[in-house]
Structure 1
Amino acid sequence: MKGYKFKFEKILNLRIRQEEQEEDKYLLLKKELNDIKNRINSIKSDKEEVYDQLRDKENNLALNISLRKYLKSLNLKIERAKTEKAAKKEKVAKQLKVLMEKKKERKTMEKLKEKEIEKFVKEFFKAEQKELDEMGRHYSMGGRLT
């Protein structure tokens, strides 16, 4: 629209960029959380395979001992991964709050811009109507435009 320029356009653009950066951080944390979940599932799958081998009656004693040691290390890995998962969930929740705050800031600026555009349009139409009324009065009095 000719003649209108939002005075806070740079601030709005900055808030949009900040929101995009926070969203990228959020998505990265979500991906890392999913990777941890997949790692836990993979370890659990390995654990089931070890249980299957331990149920096999034909294993010798040395193999059973090594399988049990391996099972302990898998359990330890699962516990570490669960701790890491809990910490990552907390980071994801915090980042989501930050992202929501950035979205709120951006939307506030966009609403301000919309209100200013509405105000500008109203003033523009009001001035145009005033000009048309003056032209109408001028013609009704028998005059010409100069």
Structure 2
Amino acid sequence: MKGYNFKFEKILNLRLREEEQEEDKYLLLQKELNDIKSNIEEIETKKENVFLELRQKDTKLSSIITLRKYLQRLRLNKEQLIARKEEKSTELAQQLEILMEKKKERKTLEKLKEREVEEFIKEFLKAEQKELDELGRHYSMGGRSI
């Protein structure tokens, strides 16, 4: 059987590489989003610790002022992180759409390849059967030339 060559193999490989690149971008964005979420949680923990310290009865006025300023910085940082989180969420959704489109393009080419391989096999088997039929006729006639 002669080897089958898919005429769009290079394009299929290109689509596969593009899909892998888009998937890497998606995973990177997802990691960045998770980092932002963990930073927000960390800020919340710090705020809780500050509130616990403020509730203590023996806290001095200077400490209270310092802690309130620290709380303001934490709130500002949290607001900035929430804004970045929303931006990353939007980027992540867009990247997911791009990734799904790349997967769709690759799968389309893979289906085309599968159909062409099936057609190639059918044609090959048909040619083999024709050759076997001719050999059978030849030998049934006693090996005489046709």
TM range (shorter): over 0.9
Cα RMSD between the aligned structures? 1.2
What letter matches 1:38 in structure 2?
A: S
Which residue of structure 1 aligns with residue 54 of structure 2?
54
- Distance apart, 1:113 and its partner CA: 0.5
Which residue of structure 1 aligns with residue 11 of structure 2?
11
CA distance in 2, matches of 1:60, 1:3: 85
What letter matches 2:91 in structure 1?
A: K
CA distance in 1, matches of 2:4, 2:87: 49
User: Within 5 A, what are the aligned runs for 1:103-122?
Assistant: 103-122=103-122
- Mapped pair 1:93 → 2:126: no
Which residue of structure 1 aligns with residue 70 of structure 2?
70
What letter matches 1:132 in structure 2?
A: L
When the two structures are superposed, what TM-score results if normalisation uses the length of structure 2? Answer: 0.96
Which residue of structure 1 aligns with residue 45 of structure 2?
45
CA distance in 2, matches of 1:58, 1:3: 85
Q: Which runs of 5+ in 2 are unaligned?
A: none
CA distance in 2, matches of 1:2, 1:50: 76
Report the number of matched residues.
145
CA distance in 1, matches of 2:103, 2:109: 10
Q: Which runs of 5+ in 1 are unaligned?
A: none
Divergent runs of 4+, >3 A: none
- Mapped pair 1:84 → 2:81: no
What letter matches 1:47 in structure 2?
A: K
- Distance apart, 1:69 and its partner CA: 1.1
